[in-house]
Structure 1
């Protein structure tokens, strides 16, 4: 397995000592069953609407409160899981995008947890969850044109040695490290606050890993828990 070591900066640990994440590294194998992503997404939408987890709404409420802690308005820039769920609650389903993106969106929807998927080959160094100085660069499409912006000082960001890979903790992913089914080295991060039971975090990881193995039998998967209290 390739070397890749995500970490949490002490500035984030001080803000959210209760934060825990599940890091999942994947060395991809040939994709034999791409339909797994779309099928899992459709099932997750149905399951979420039919029988949600009793802690799900509280977990999203904790994320909204966490966003307020670092100065972001959650109604304008919600956590990724909240944004996905609102779309499904409004439309009843979600359109397929890409097999691997569909799969990790399905996990996010079903477990009310922000899930990020990243192309490891596009990284310069390792991922770091930290607070922004305001000088970092973040690549984003505006009106179809690739451009750059910077986060607000104090904003929680994921970054590497080049710049920001995700703004607003898990609100908006950058263009450079965006993941698709063609990539060979993948990193997923499932981000938990205390309303979500720890065993549910592992179950969410199981769902993602199971889908990956169905989609690309023979893929290598390594899981690791990241804890703010241990950083």
Structure 2
């Protein structure tokens, strides 16, 4: 695989001290075991209902504090892991969407960690985590129709050379880079704060890589730990 390294703006350190992320890049083989994602999602939902990992509440509170630090309101726009967790605790389960999406949602629930999955072939340049200046464009859907909007100035976003790919850090993914099991160039980002043990972050990454390897035998997978300077 060619060189690939997402970047994190130094400004993030003042908002989320100790932030670290696991970047996992995949050159995917053909889907061979599509039922694996939904199976793992069902198991993860049961685990979350039973309480989840020991650090779950502390990690979700830490993410809520980080969201407030850049001006977001976590009650209205929570981190992706908290949004999934709330749905499972309310409804008891999550519907299956796509084998790969189901798999990374399962990892998010099981390890109480925000996990993003992106179609890397749709990226223009490298992913980077930055503070928005408010002029960037973000493609989304409103009332069932394609729409464009811009983040707030100072909002933490993932972006590439074309625009924002995920708003409010990991709250809402854009349409352009959405991932499915049909895509061959995949990128996953697992985002952790110090309330989650570093060993658990590594375990979550290993579980995701193992799931991809089982689901798509022969896939090439590489993982890198990203930390703040």
When normalised by structure 2's length, the TM-score is 0.98
Describe the superposition over 1:111-145 as per-residue Cα deviations: whole angstroms up to 9, x where unpaired: 11000000000000000000000000000001111
The alignment status of 1:40 with 2:25, answered yes or no, reads no
Is contact 2:166-2:172 (8 Å) kept?
yes
Describe the superposition over 1:11-36 as per-residue Cα deviations: whole angstroms up to 9, x where unpaired: 11232231000000000011110111
Structure 2 counterpart of 1:111: 111
Structure 2 counterpart of 1:93: 93
Structure 2 counterpart of 1:164: 164
Structure 2 counterpart of 1:186: 186
Structure 2 counterpart of 1:201: 201
**Which ranges in structure 2 are unaligned for 5 or more consecutive residues?**
none
The whole-number CA distance in structure 1 between the counterparts of 2:55 and 2:113 is 11
Q: Which has the higher mean CA deviation after the structures are superposed, 182-191 or 45-54?
A: 45-54
Write the mapping of 1:211-230 to structure 2, written as runs, cut at 5 A.
211-228=211-228, 230=229
The whole-number CA distance in structure 2 between the counterparts of 1:5 and 1:192 is 17
Secondary structure at 1:10's aligned position in 2?
A: coil
Describe the superposition over 1:32-91 as per-residue Cα deviations: whole angstroms up to 9, x where unpaired: 101110001001111222252111100000000000000000001000000000000011
Secondary structure at 2:117's aligned position in 1?
A: strand
The whole-number CA distance in structure 2 between the counterparts of 1:165 and 1:50 is 33
Q: Give the CA RMSD over aligned residues.
A: 0.8
Q: CA deviation at 1:10?
A: 1.1
* Count of matched residue positions in the alignment of Structure 1 and Structure 2: 229
**Which ranges in structure 1 are unaligned for 5 or more consecutive residues?**
none
The whole-number CA distance in structure 2 between the counterparts of 1:137 and 1:114 is 23
Structure 2 counterpart of 1:76: 76
Secondary structure at 2:141's aligned position in 1?
A: strand
Structure 1 counterpart of 2:155: 155
Is contact 2:45-2:109 (8 Å) kept?
yes
The whole-number CA distance in structure 2 between the counterparts of 1:112 and 1:58 is 10
Q: CA deviation at 1:4?
A: 2.3
Structure 2 counterpart of 1:26: 26
Q: CA deviation at 1:2?
A: 3.2
